[in-house]
Amino acid sequence: MRITSKGQVTIPANIREKTGLLPHTDVEFIHDDNGVRIVPAPLPSGQSRGQRLADHLRGKSDVAMSTDEIMALTRKS
């Protein structure tokens, strides 16, 4: 794997999945005697990973159905 001229590198999908590095996850680089590690940045206080994901998804839907209509569809047998 090479670092681009802009200093970018792609984290392989299997590593992203195993470590929970979702799109738009903030990360930190930690440099120590063993090299460099990429770790998820601490979440803002009071905000869970689920809340961060919900905030990211809020307003992205293009379905013209109400919540009640969607729930009725999922409950049909």
Q: Which domain holds residue 43?
A: 1-56
Q: Could you tell me if residue 68 is inside a domain?
A: no
pLDDT confidence of residue 50: 83
Half-sphere exposure of 22 (CA within 13 A, CB side): 7
Q: Which two tokens stand for residue 35?
A: 């090299």
Q: Could you tell me if residue 62 is inside a domain?
A: no
pLDDT confidence of residue 62: 82
What is the pTM for the complete model shown?
A: 0.50
Q: Could you tell me if residue 77 is inside a domain?
A: no
25 and 43 Cβ atoms separated by less than 8 Å:
no
Q: What is the CATH number of the domain that holds 11?
A: 2.10.260
38 and 27 Cβ atoms separated by less than 8 Å:
yes
Q: Give the closest residue to 20 by CA, choosing from 46, 2, 47, 38.
A: 38
Q: What is the pLDDT of residues 13-65, one digit of tens each?
A: 999 989 888 888 889 999 999 999 998 888 777 778 788 788 888 888 788 88
